[in-house]
Amino acid sequence: MNLGFVCDHCLGRQFAKLLSGYSNDQRGEIVRRLLAMEYEAKPFKLDTSNFHGFTFRRKMKTRKPGICVVCKNLFEELPKFADQAAKILKKMDSKSFMVGVKMNDALAMAEESLWEKSGIAYCEPIKSELNRELGKLVEKKTGKIPDENRPEIIVLLDLQNKQIETLINPVYVYGEYRKLVRGIPQTKMKGHETVEDIIAKPLMKTTRASSHTMHACGREDRQAKCLAWRPFVLEINQPLKRRINLKIIEREINRGKMVKVRNLRYSSRKEIVEIKRKKVEKVYRLRVNFENPVRDIQRVGKIVGVVKQKTPRRLLKSKPDKLRHKKVKSIKWKKINTKIYEFEVRTESGLYINELVSGDKRRTKPSISEILENPGELKQFDVVKIFV
C-alpha cells in the first residue's frame, strides 16, 4: 500500500483464508479500518490515498484514490462483463453455466509482485475471486445455475482482449442401432453416407449444432449388416438448442430403411469412456465359398480356441504390424451346397473375420481354409448378436 492505492478486493484477498462468512472486499474494508487506526496512532510510510474518505481525529491530508496498483480497478468492470454474458446466455437454451477467466500477463505479474511483498500464507489467487464474483453476478442477472462439474455453457472472461466468450459444451445422446444394408461405413468417410450421418441428421437440424462425432461399442465392416443392436453415444458439438424430444428424433430416424435406432436418451462423456472400454463378444454369420467340395466339415470345430493374427496385409499401410491373440468361442455351420457353407462364429471383439476365413497367407493361424485344407472366400457376413 506504500506504492499506491490497493482496492478492498485486492487487500482483502491477502487474508482470504482467515475467517469465513466474509467476502474479500469485506475483509479488505476491515483491514483498511485497522490500518487507518494504527496510522493515526503512529503514522508510517503508506500512500494516503488508501485512507481517502476516513475522518481522522487529528488533521491529516489524504489523496483521492487512483487506480488499484494490482487489478487496475478490474472488479469495478465486472458488472459490465456480467451484462455482456447475460445478454449472450439469454439467447441460449441452457440451465447451467461455469465462469472461467483467461488472465493477461500484466495482471499475473502484478499479483506475483504483491505475493513477493506480502507472502502467500493466507491469500487467494485473483483468478479464483474473479471467477466467483463474476459467477455471482451472472447468476443474479440470468437465473441460471452455476455448475462446476457439468456446466452446459462456459462463460470465459478474456482479460487480454477485455471481452466475454462462450464455450458451449456438447450434448451427448446414447442409443443402439442396427444397420440393415451393406455398403455404408459406421463413421465419417468422405464421399459416403454413413450410419453416423443418418443418425445425426435430425439431431443436427433440431439442435442447430456445428458438428458431431459417433462413439460406438465396436464397429462392423462396411460390407456387413449389423442385425444386432450396437450401443453408441453421439456427441453433438456447439448445440444452440439442448432440450429436444428424443422420441420424435427416434421416429424420424426409423422412417428410413437403412438404419434403425432405439432407446435414445441423454448421456455423458463418462459413458463414452465406458462404451469404449467394453470388451464385447459378437456372433457373426458368414457365407463362405470354397474352391473345392468340402469334405469332413466337422474338422472346422478345431477353430475354437486362440487364434493368432498378425495385422492383415490389407491394413499394413495404416496400422503397425503386430501379433494379436483372439479367441473363437464357438462355431456352427450349415451346408448350402458342397462348395458353399454358412457359419455362425462367436468371437472376441477385434478379431478380423476376413482373415479368419482366408488365413491371409498364413498371417492368421489357424484359419478355416487351413483347417479344411480348402481355400475359402468370404462372400458376405453379418453381425447377428452383440454380448455387451
Q: Determine the Cα–Cα distance for residues 178 and 235; give it in Å rounded to an integer.
A: 19
Can you give the C-alpha Rg of the chain in angstroms?
33
Label residue 98 exposed, middle or buried (CB < 10 Å: 0-12, 13-18, 19+).
buried
Which residue, among 132, 140, 182, 123, has the nearest Cα to 157 in the 3D structure? 132
Backbone angles phi, psi at 166, to 5 degrees: -125, 140
Q: Determine the Cα–Cα distance for residues 134 and 121; give it in Å rounded to an integer.
A: 25
For the record, the C-alpha cell of 61 comes out as 491530508
Distance of CA 112 to the CA centre of its chain: 33
The 3-state DSSP class for residue 156 equals: strand
| Cβ count within 10 A of residue 97 | 23
Of the candidates 8, 25, 197, 221, the residue annotated as catalytic is 221
Label residue 370 exposed, middle or buried (CB < 10 Å: 0-12, 13-18, 19+).
middle
Please state whether beta strands 145-146 and 323-337 pair in parallel, antiparallel, or not at all (unpaired): unpaired
DSSP 8-state assignment for residue 191: T
DSSP 110-153: HHHHHHHHH-SSS---HHHHHHHHHHHHHHHHH-PEE-SSS-SE
Q: Which residue has the cell 456447439?
A: 238
Q: Determine the Cα–Cα distance for residues 189 and 184; give it in Å rounded to an integer.
A: 9
Would residue 221 show up in a list of annotated catalytic residues for this protein? Answer: yes
Active-site positions read 221
